[in-house]
Amino acid sequence: QWKGVASRMFVEHAARLVRARGGRIANADITLICEAPRVGPHREAMTEILSAMLAISRDRISIKATTNEKLGFVGREEGIAAIATASVVFPGDVPE
């Protein structure tokens, strides 16, 4: 059912769910695990797109990368992996 659907749809849906419950996304931290391509040349564009998708400022987004030291499917360049974490604040949780 979800094959081929752009990941943007899932990110925007999650952000809408947070806002619908009165929450706000405080920040996002993304680590890409890949041997290639180099992330540096694409970091600014990725940050800009995520900023729009999450409706948070660019300075609240961290995007970094690491390799898998040639181990596993990532090391063989058969794919990439990502770890993404977002801090979400709901009313009454943390003083502003």
- Does residue 7 fall inside a structural domain? no
Residue range 3-56, pLDDT digits in tens: 999 989 999 999 999 999 999 999 999 999 988 888 889 999 999 999 999 999
- Does residue 20 fall inside a structural domain? no
Range of the domain at 56: 25-89
Higher pLDDT, 33 or 70: 33
Q: Judge if the upstream peptide bond of residue 41 is cis by omega within 30 degrees of 0.
A: no
Check which CATH number belongs to the domain holding 43 and give it: 3.30.1330.50
Instruction: Return the closest-CA partner of residue 26 out of 47, 49, 57.
Output: 57
Rounded to two decimals, the pTM is: 0.80
**Tally of domains in the chain:** 1
- Runs of H (alpha helix) within 21-70: 43-54
Distance, in Å, from the CA atom of 83 to the CA atom of 60, rounded to the nearest integer, reads: 16
